[in-house]
Amino acid sequence: MNSKPVRLALAAMIGWGASGCCSLCSKKAEIKIMKESFGKTQDGIAVDCYTLKNHNGVEMKAINYGATIIALKVPDQNGKLDDVVLGFDKLADYETKSPYFGCIVGRYGNRIAKGHFSLNGVTYCLATNNGPNSLHGGLKGFDKVVWQAKEMQTAAGPAVVFTRVSKDGEEGYPGDLTLKLVYTLTDKNEVKIDYTATTDKDTVVNLTNHSYFNLAGQGHGDILGHEMQINASHFTPVDATLIPTGELRPVKGTPFDFTKPITIGARITQSDEQLKFGNGYDHNWALDKDGDDLCCAARVVEPQRGRVMEVLTTEPGVQFYSGNFLDGTLAGKAGKVYKFRNGFCLETQHYPDSPNHPNFPPTILRPGQTYQTTTIYRFSTK
């Protein structure tokens, strides 16, 4: 039986409160998920935009090109909504010039040294698209493909589900990889991303969302005044091409110590070899956690408008990238120009180049196993 007309008639009789609550019970009315066209790719594939809203007015827009979050409006300490993620107004810009704004990167997010890894005695060769290394899944990674999408109302809030199969050999990786991503916007002002994947051959997987945040609002200058805290007493230092050396180095006494809140800008210009290699922060922090429980990875506060973002994850690491390659050449949403360090990323993940580092937590997925990770971006105010 279709219960929709009954529910609608009931709603009309008893009325819904301003908060979307039914006046007879505490159950909140569902807010419709909007789906509209976001144009066509250069290959003529239709792309849709899904708008999710919660009962606090928080709004997220995601498109099925790259499973990309293109807008995220959250309140500041005065209740004013601003869009806190960088992005573009047009699909063509995502296709041609995006430095991975808001998308999912994979099959292997972050770098693989020289584009090579070995699995079961076979060496796999990937495209090298970042100096000598392979970055974010190669030339046409998961950020540059159109996913299937479907809206879904869940107990936690409205959601959009992205699915696709990455075929055996795509970008050089072995095995058909069947992927499912669920983006849920909860009434706790959380964007929750659940990632699952299965394979029919041994492969490597490392998925993350690549949103660039500016908690003052996109286009509102640099992020150097944001206070950052990262729950990690070690990070993975890199060589000049940003490949981990394999060492897990204590952060204590270095500009990489974010165990207590400190502004991103406080030490970013210090003379430090690692900061020089990254042109700022562009490193993986090894989170202080046991196993794959969901735990707090980072907390960021923007002191002027009072927005707070907490990042929780089941992953062992987080890449904190301080937007060092933004250089003012990209005009983003509403014509805002994104200059040096105008956004930052917190990419929850396994460590970079793990397939070539047996001492790092493994990233191999085998048939019969399910890759399952969750990351939550939770917004509040001071």
Q: What is the dihedral of CA 33, 39, 45, 47, to 10 degrees?
A: -20
Nearer to ligand BGC, 167 or 276 (CB): 276
Residue 174 or 278 with smaller CB distance to ligand BGC: 278
- Using CB under 6 A, which of the segments 141-149, 187-195, 317-325, 335-343 binds ligand BGC? 317-325
Residue 64 amino acid letter: N
- Return the number of the residue (198 or 319) whose C-beta is nearest ligand BGC: 319
Site residue total, ligand BGC (CB under 6 A): 9
Q: How far is the CB of 338 from ligand BGC (least distance, A)?
A: 12
Least separation in angstroms between residue 58's CB and ligand BGC is 25
Closer CB to ligand BGC, 177 or 242, in the complex = 242
3-state secondary structure the chain: CCCHHHHHHHHHHHCECCCCEECCCCCECCCCCEEEEEEECCCCCEEEEEEEECCCCCEEEEECECCEEEEEEEECCCCCEEECECCCCCHHHHHHHCCCCCCEECCECCEEHHHEEEECCEEEECCCCECCEEECCCCCCHHHCECEEEEEEECCEEEEEEEEEECCCHHHCCCCEEEEEEEEECCCCEEEEEEEEEECCCEECECEECCCECCCCCCCCCCCCCEEEECCCEEECECCCCCECCCCEECCCCCCCCCCCEEHHHCCCCCCHHHHHHCCCEEEEECCCCCCCCEEEEEEEECCCCEEEEEEECCCEEEEECCCCCCCCEECHHHCEECCCCCEEEEEECCCCHHHCCCCCCCEECCCCCEEEEEEEEEEEC
Amino acid identity of residue 74, one-letter, is V
Out of 319, 348, 354, 375, point to the residue binding ligand BGC (CB under 6 A).
Answer: 319
Binding test (CB under 6 A) with ligand BGC, winner from 142, 256, 285, 321: 321
Q: Which of 9, 11, 167, 325 binds ligand BGC (CB under 6 A)?
A: 325
In terms of CB distance, is 75 or 244 closer to ligand BGC? 244
Site string for ligand BGC, 237-276 (x = CB under 6 A): -----x----------------------------------
CA nearest 255: which of 267, 273, 264, 247? 267
Task: List the interface residues with ligand BGC, window 50-109 (CB under 6 A).
Answer: 99-100
- Binding mask 196-235 vs ligand BGC (x if CB under 6 A, - otherwise)? ----------------------------------------
**Looking at beta carbons only, is 82 or 347 nearer to ligand BGC?**
347
- For residue 347, the minimal CB distance to ligand BGC (Å) is 5
Asked if residue 320 binds ligand BGC (CB under 6 A), the reply is no
In whole angstroms, how close is the CB of 263 to ligand BGC at the nearest point?
Answer: 21
Catalytic site residue 116?
Answer: no
Q: Which of 136, 210, 226, 234 is catalytic?
A: 210
Cβ proximity to ligand BGC, 50 vs 142, nearer residue: 142
Cα dihedral 151/97/214/299 (nearest 10):
70
Pick one of 282, 302, 315, 353: the residue that binds ligand BGC (CB under 6 A).
282
Output the smallest distance, CB 244 to ligand BGC, in A. Answer: 11
129 or 254, CB closer to ligand BGC? 129
| Candidates 66-74, 319-327, 333-341, 360-368; binding stretch for ligand BGC (CB under 6 A) | 319-327
Determine which one of 227, 347, 350, 357 is catalytic: 347
Q: Which residue has the tokens 């001492």?
A: 359
Q: How many CB atoms lie within 10 A of CB 5?
A: 8
Query: Does 151 qualify as catalytic in the annotation?
Result: no
Residue pointed to by tokens 């971006």: 377
Widest pairwise Cα distance in the chain: 68
Q: How far apart are CB 7 and ligand BGC at their closest, in Å?
A: 44
Which positions are annotated as active-site residues?
210, 347
Interface with ligand BGC (CB under 6 A): 99-100, 110, 242, 282, 319, 321, 325, 347
